[in-house]
Amino acid sequence: MEKTGIAVWDPVEIPQKKCAMWRFPLRSIWVERIETEWHVLSLPERREHGDAAYRLVARSQKPPSSQWRHYLHRDIGTMQPSPVLPDRPVVMRPDRALTLLPGQSTIFFLELPVWFRLSTSGYRPAKVFEEPLSVLTRTWFGDPVTGELCWGLATRLHHSIESVDPAADRAVCPLMIENDSESDLEFQKICIHVENLSIFRGTWHLWTNSLLAVFKGPDQATQIEIVHTPPGFEEGMVPLSEARLPSTGWNIRRTFGMLKYFTDF
Amino acid sequence: MFITQIVNWISTLSPDVLTRGLRVAVTVVIGLVLVRLLAVVTQRYIMKKSTPQRQMIVRKIISYTGFFIVLMAVLGELGVKLTALLGAAGIVGIAVGFASQTSVSNIISGLFLISEKPFAIGDVLKVGGTTGIIQSIDLLSVKIRTFDNLFVRIPNEKILSSEVTNITRFPIRRMDIVFQVDHGQDLSRIHGVLSAIASANPWSLDEPEPVIMFTEFKESGIEVMLGLWFAKTDFMDLKNTIMKDISARFAAEGIRFAHPRRMVRISPTPADAPRRRKARSTVARGRATSAPTA
């Protein structure tokens, strides 16, 4: 039984003497259960493109490696793989410098990389492990004293969802921007606080909460709002993963503070 | 037996002495308990959000002041004339003061350090030739654990009067790697290769951008400086990987590191000319005689 596309995020049961394999373009994950132990192996892949796939294979086909990690958990129920957003803010460097003129508004569809999380779904669900599915660089956002360590990513600015290829290892973040100032808004770097975003599963894509940003001018903090309802770009959107840091009042204030650097002013 | 002796001794005392002894005992017990209670309450509740160093100072001030007051009260209760005692204490104080100049200097330095806060417990500090993690900041000294697990006590006075580097004060740092490459190589290509090495290293930050500078023409080669920014916790990972990366990539690209070398050229003098001609002809004859014959 093989699953492809975003169906790889379905719950799975791993029988004895079988090994589960999730294969993504840049990483493959192998999981097997031996009595109360979960054995997990994460290996880099070299495919730049390609669909994700899940299948069960015989134990004899598992790769020999010294990198297998062992986790102990008594529950032997189904396993829940889920996509989660990275553990730090992501600084996106658009492929082209774009300027939003005063009084204009637009929407971008940003592709955010997701991490693979495997949890047990028994009586007491527990996270087994997490693994990034793509290679992100480390970057610094802000000045060297008060800035923040982030993941860096070069990305395309998509104006419509049609130009975004469906992928199981990326979530689409709709970013609506309004330039409510008298000055130009130049996009050089965009810092997205992904730890405040949830992931939803649509028909073809994974989605995050929509973000609404209002640029008031270079000397004022940019206002940003996280839309908590699922984005309405696809039918039948269902929640898949919760935000690492639910956007409480404290996080909102922190986000506002960071958004002074929203466009690297 | 012993208890019986004590009871007998107490029964010989006058009621006045007994009353006074009781009052002294009560003063000591209640006084010490109150001082201890005040110090604990101040540290735990009033200065809850303060730094550990300030808590320690306030606790010690409260304790020493309290003990002094209790001592004065006890001495007063015992009938000791405090004015005479304080006069004697003044003289003793001068003598002790001269003897403990260094300690007082350290205490005052410690107060300055605690108020200025140039470092905190857990920071990595470099003082002179010593580098290590701060374990405690006390009134007299700062205690450091070096990376090879040695305990070093540095007097506060020394820290205040010397250059101190707090290595982990800021969240990111730059690691400068300086080396030389051979003369006559394509510097633009070397620049590109170093940029690629920095981009490929997982511990090097891509923002702020790495610094690549060709700093000087040296005797043996051209000096290059590669400055990589990194999160302060990633020092070891970056240090261990970047040297291997540079070495492997340079070997693959055929870029040669410069090695110390010295070229010696001997210029002939006119007086040497006949001797050199003779040496050359001898060599030529030797070659002719040793040539193989058919």
The string of pLDDT tens digits covering residues A177-211 is 888 888 888 877 888 889 889 999 998 899 999 98
Rounded average pLDDT over B228-253: 94
> Which of A43, A61, A82 corresponds to the end of one domain?
A82
Q: B213 CB contacts (<8 Å, ≥6 apart)? A: B224, B225, B227
Type of residue found at A1: M
Q: Is residue B60 part of a domain?
A: yes
Q: Is residue A46 part of a domain?
A: yes
Residue identified by tokens 């693979």 is A116
**Residue of higher predicted confidence among A70 and B272:** A70
Burial of B32 by CB count in 10 Å (0-12 exposed, 13-18 middle, 19+ buried)?
middle
pLDDT exceeds cutoff 90 at B276: no
Q: Is B229 in the A-facing interface, judged by CB distances under 8 Å? A: yes
Interface contact flag, A139 B202, Cβ < 8 Å: no
Type of residue found at B90: G
Q: Do A53 and A90 fall within a single domain?
A: no
**Domains held by chain A: number:** 2
Interface contact flag, A138 B208, Cβ < 8 Å: no
Q: Do B67 and B116 fall within a single domain?
A: no
Banded pLDDT at B64 (limits 50, 70, 90): confident
Q: What is the ipTM of this complex?
A: 0.79
Q: B92 CB contacts (<8 Å, ≥6 apart)? A: none
Which domain range does residue A163 map to? 86-113+134-261
Interface contact flag, B207 A139, Cβ < 8 Å: yes
Q: Tell me, rounded to whole angstroms, the distance of Cα B157 from its chain centroid.
A: 14
Q: Is residue A163 part of a domain?
A: yes
For A37-51, how does the pLDDT look when each residue is reduced to its tens digit (9 = 90+)? Answer: 889 999 988 777 778
Residues A148 and A140: beta-carbon distance below 8 Å: yes
Q: Is B209 in the A-facing interface, judged by CB distances under 8 Å? A: no
CB nearest to B206's CB, from A135, A137, A145: A137
Q: Is residue B179 part of a domain?
A: yes
Q: Do A66 and A153 fall within a single domain?
A: no
Q: Is residue B64 part of a domain?
A: yes
Average pLDDT over chain B, rounded to an integer: 85
Interface contact flag, B206 A141, Cβ < 8 Å: no
Interface residue of B199, B207, B230 to substitute, partner A, most A CBs within 10 Å: B207
Domain CATH code at residue B182: 3.30.70.100
Instruction: Output the pTM of the full model.
Output: 0.73
Chain A nearest C-alpha distance from B66 (Å): 42
Q: Is residue B266 part of a domain?
A: no
Dist CA B244 CA B191 (whole Å): 18
Average pLDDT over chain A, rounded to an integer: 83
pLDDT exceeds cutoff 50 at A254: no
Residue A263's pLDDT is 36
Q: Is residue A124 part of a domain?
A: no
Which tokens is A225 given? 């709002």
pLDDT exceeds cutoff 70 at A259: no
User: How much of chain A, in percent, has pLDDT values that exceed 70?
Assistant: 90
For A68-126, how does the pLDDT look when each residue is reduced to its tens digit (9 = 90+)? Answer: 999 887 766 688 899 999 999 998 888 887 888 999 999 999 999 999 999 887 777 78
Taken in order B252, B256, B257, B261, is the CA torsion positive or negative?
A: positive
Which residues of chain A have a CB within 8 Å of the CB of B234? 138
Q: Do B151 and B122 fall within a single domain?
A: yes
Q: Do A94 and A190 fall within a single domain?
A: yes
Type of residue found at B127: V
Interface contact flag, B171 A139, Cβ < 8 Å: no
Distances from the Cα of A12 to the Cα of A1, A3, A31, A79, A119, angstroms: 11, 11, 11, 5, 11
Which domain range does residue B135 map to? 110-166
CA atoms within 13 A on the CB side of A101: 0
Q: Is residue A119 part of a domain?
A: no
Which residues of chain B have a CB within 8 Å of the CB of A191? none
Which tokens is A12 given? 């799975």
Q: Is B206 in the A-facing interface, judged by CB distances under 8 Å? A: yes
Dist CA B68 CA A15 (whole Å): 75
